[in-house]
Amino acid sequence: MDLSKFDPNTSGNPNYNIFGLPFTEEEARLVILPVPWEVTVSYLAGTARAPERILKASLHVDIFDVDIYDGWKQGFFLREPDKKILLKSDYLRKESELYINYISHGEKLDDNRFMCKTLREVNEGCEFLNGWVYEQAKALLNKGKLVGILGGDHSVPLGFYKAIAEKYGEFGILQVDAHCDLRKAYMGLKYSHASIMHNALAEVPGIVKLEQIGVRDFCDSEWEYIQQSNNRVVTYFDKKIKELQYEGHNWNVITQQIIDNLPPKVFISFDIDGLNRTLCPHTGMPVPGGFEAEQMFFLFKKILDSGRKIIGFDLCETGVSSNEWDENVGARVLFKLCNLTVASN
């Protein structure tokens, strides 16, 4: 593409695409697939609207990256969120809220035929979404595109994991997250956002390693799952990372330990609640603690320097806010993930 008339030093042009870049989908090397979905979120809502809000915030991101010079010139493109998917999410979200409230009060599912029907509809809707994401991602990968997912809640990338396993074979997931997401059918919701990694490991045998960092909110069954995973799951709990730092270990040493456990091909799954809550106050399930963004960018750069290949990413659970702070942070994380992915391929 001829970029001679494009000025990267001016403000983002809203007539262009993500980050104010002038690429079409055909011209872009990396395509971002938005998935406006938050059906099983059990606390704060809003992340289904994150893709369109991040697009707006992205126009204020300077596109110079000192670590990956001119990465943007390879082309990034964000598809328009599918309105039918968003409408389906909105409808099923209301159904899911009724069901979650019912179950949370200790009511028995078998005693309420309406709630049985509601649960069935929600699970079928989530299964449909998984298939939709798989087909969309597979088509882009078959065109030779690099692909990233922009959620939406953290349930959305399962279909992408399946498509990328078919494309690349065995790989590992580096999961940045406040939660393990290893619950089996959380509250009866088979494809809950709290079950994404349980489902991924069960349904995608190509995932040979799941490495979790920043986890600080988890349950007994998730702890047991990790202990019984035969090292397929390695979790760097936020508490342990902080203790190592308090004892004098620097972040560079800790990141090297993390990287040493990763296979040659790496997928980055970034739930934004893995960051410190000051950076994502309106995420769906905020938890005290977490990382600074620069800590993650340092880790990602070290992965790149190690020669490992970043084959894709998802960015999920960005909240929406009145002052667009969450969206601003989300846009900057997205820009870094895009740059890393094109630089790695």
What pLDDT, in 10s, does the model give residues 14-47? 999 999 999 999 999 999 999 999 999 877 889 9
**Cβ pair 338, 71 in contact under 8 A:** yes
Whether 13 is in a domain gets the answer no
What pLDDT, in 10s, does the model give residues 278-297? 999 999 889 999 999 999 99
Instruction: Give the percent of the chain with pLDDT over 90.
Output: 88
What secondary structure does DSSP assign to 229-249, as a single string?
Answer: STTSEEEEEHHHHHHHHHTT-
**Cβ pair 100, 186 in contact under 8 A:** no
Give the pLDDT of residue 187: 86
Give the pLDDT of residue 241: 95
Report the C-alpha gap between 50 and 194 in whole angstroms. Answer: 19
Range of 54's domain? 18-343
Average pLDDT over residues 195-223: 97
Whether 201 is in a domain gets the answer yes
Average pLDDT over residues 286-313: 96
What secondary structure does DSSP assign to 35-92, as a single string?
Answer: E---TT--S---GGGHHHHHHHHHTTS----SSSTTGGGG-EEEPPPPHHHHHHHHHH
What secondary structure does DSSP assign to 232-292, as a single string?
Answer: SEEEEEHHHHHHHHHTT--HHHHHHHHHHTS-SEEEEEEEGGGB-GGG-TTSSS--S--B-
Give the pLDDT of residue 1: 75
Average pLDDT over residues 39-64: 93
Whether 12 is in a domain gets the answer no
Residue of higher predicted confidence among 186 and 255: 255
Give the pLDDT of residue 44: 81
Whether 251 is in a domain gets the answer yes
- CA distances 259 to 185, 220, 269, 307, Å, are 30, 27, 15, 11
Report the C-alpha gap between 208 and 14 in whole angstroms. Answer: 41
| Among 131, 111, 108, CA closest to 188 | 108
Average pLDDT over residues 46-68: 95
Model confidence at 316, pLDDT cuts 50, 70, 90, reads: very high
Model confidence at 137, pLDDT cuts 50, 70, 90, reads: very high
Angle at 232 between CA 163 and CA 304, to 5 degrees: 65
SS3 151: strand
What pLDDT, in 10s, does the model give residues 79-135? 999 999 999 999 999 999 999 998 888 888 888 899 999 999 999 999 999 999 999
Domain with 97 in it: what CATH number? Answer: 3.40.800.10
Report the C-alpha gap between 174 and 177 in whole angstroms. Answer: 10
Average pLDDT over residues 144-156: 97
What pTM was computed for the model? 0.96
What pLDDT, in 10s, does the model give residues 236-260? 999 999 999 999 999 999 999 999 9
Whether 64 is in a domain gets the answer yes
Whether 79 is in a domain gets the answer yes
As for how many domains the chain has, the answer is 1
Give the pLDDT of residue 104: 86
Give the pLDDT of residue 42: 78
Average pLDDT over residues 1-25: 91
Average model confidence (pLDDT) across the chain: 95
- CA distances 267 to 53, 199, 204, 340, Å, are 24, 16, 13, 11
**CB neighbour class for 314 (10 Å; exposed up to 12, middle 13-18, buried from 19):** buried
Report the C-alpha gap between 160 and 314 in whole angstroms. Answer: 9
Whether 245 is in a domain gets the answer yes
DSSP code of residue 19: G
Q: Which amino acid is at 169?
A: G
Average pLDDT over residues 216-239: 96
**CB neighbour class for 299 (10 Å; exposed up to 12, middle 13-18, buried from 19):** buried
Report the DSSP pairing between strands 30-35 and 309-316: unpaired
CB atoms within 10 A of CB 293: 16
Give the pLDDT of residue 105: 87
Whether 217 is in a domain gets the answer yes
